[in-house]
Amino acid sequence: MDSKITPPVGLTLWKQSSMAPEQDNGFFNDLEGEHEFTDVNDIDRGLKLMYLANEGDLDGIKELLDNGADVNFRDIDHRTALHVAACQGYVDVAELLLENAAEIDARDRWGSTPLADAVHYKKHDVIKLLEKHGAKHFMAPMHVPNAREIPEYEINPKELDFTNSVEITKGTYTIASWRGIHVAVKILWEQVADEDKVRAFGDELALLQRIRHPNVVQFLGAVTQSSPMMIVTEYLSKGDLCEYLKRKGSIKPATSLRFAMDIARGMNYLHEFKPEAIIHCDLEPSNILRDDSGHLKVADFGVSKLLKVANRVKEVTPLTCQDTCRYVAPEVFRNEEYDTKVDVFSFALILQEMIEGCPPFSSKQDHEVAESHAANDRPPFKASLKLYAHGLKELIEECWSENPANRPTFKQIIPRLEAIYNSFGHRRRWKVGPLKCFQKKDSSIGHSSRSDGSI
């Protein structure tokens, strides 16, 4: 079989994904350039399978599969042979692949399925075949029938270029290029049948489009009229506070306080939001991002809640700590009613971590930390008390109080942080003051100062 397969030099293979960024030549590039081979014998069996699917070579495909080729092999863009057959409209090839257990709803790197590709390239016979085998039409659940109803924030997914993209912020967001800038994109990969995921996506989108504050990550737009749905926000290249603290360890009180004021201002904006306060519920260093100027912005509102006036929130299901619950308030861990003060508790732990240089109870597992907090145990103050001067230690202790009612609001926290910051600043200026005065006096009488301090 192999001896018959020698395509012309420079042949570009299979059509691009239906959701891939537009390419000038109508094909997508891959493998350090294009799918170009001088001899199919020199390539991997999986790629060989995709080439044969592109050529419609049934006999060659059968022989490869009989010899153990993986029918669900994926190339660098997560494309499968079934994607290729769907693009080309080869019904017999698609049927053969499906008979050999090809994954019918496989998604490539842009979220496109074989059915989506067949629809895009108008391969109606393949569409019927895939539908017969149970392929799903992934219509976005927020899709509107009338073009006039499409929201103003809607972004055409073909404008988002994920070439060389990498995952950021705990893998939740992916970097993409959009209209000449880098953006962060949160993609809803789950099937639309997962109503809880869709509802959470809609809730986060509803929050983000209402929020405007310099200490909160800026919402840019969303993809809601096609699948997969996406949320697009500004991309902050300096990374998150978690990575920063891993590199730096403990940071100076002045820097810690500046960071704390940024966080507090962003959180105060959310808590003071009208008509309903916004509770973040997942405030931790990995959800706090740094901008180019060194300031911090609160991000990731995937589990945020709206707090109606005079009400409190109670989770339907208990916290499971599947991700991290190292910064979670004890009332949330105990599945009790809670309000905005859960964010104040998390803030206290973050502020102490910046001074100490390590996460709260760093030697314990996440669930053990949450259990310690629920037992009214708090991380020890190991750093020098000089770093907690001017009331900083007392503020942290108030913020992580067992009784939420005893924790201050961010509106109360901000002026206290400013006063503490100014106290640290005055102390530094006092140290250099006498030297400056001495040098000024010395220069006024025409003498020069020596390095040893003598005249």
Spell out where 273-399 has E strands.
277-279, 288-290, 296-298, 305-307
- Amino acid at site 339: D
What SS3 state is found at 178?
A: strand
Q: φ, ψ for residue 453 (rounded to 5)?
A: 90, -5
Which one of the listed residues 30, 282, 300, 339 is annotated catalytic? 282
Cis peptide before 380 (omega within 30 of 0): no
236: its two tokens: 């902050």
Which residue shows structure tokens 């145990």?
A: 377
CB 202 within 8 A of CB 195: no
**240 has catalytic annotation:** no
Beta bridge partners of 185: 174, 232
d(CA 8, CA 388): 72
Say which DSSP state 249 is in: -
Provide the residue count of the chain: 455
State the distance between the two ends of the chain, measured CA to CA, in whole angstroms: 94
Catalytic residue list:
282
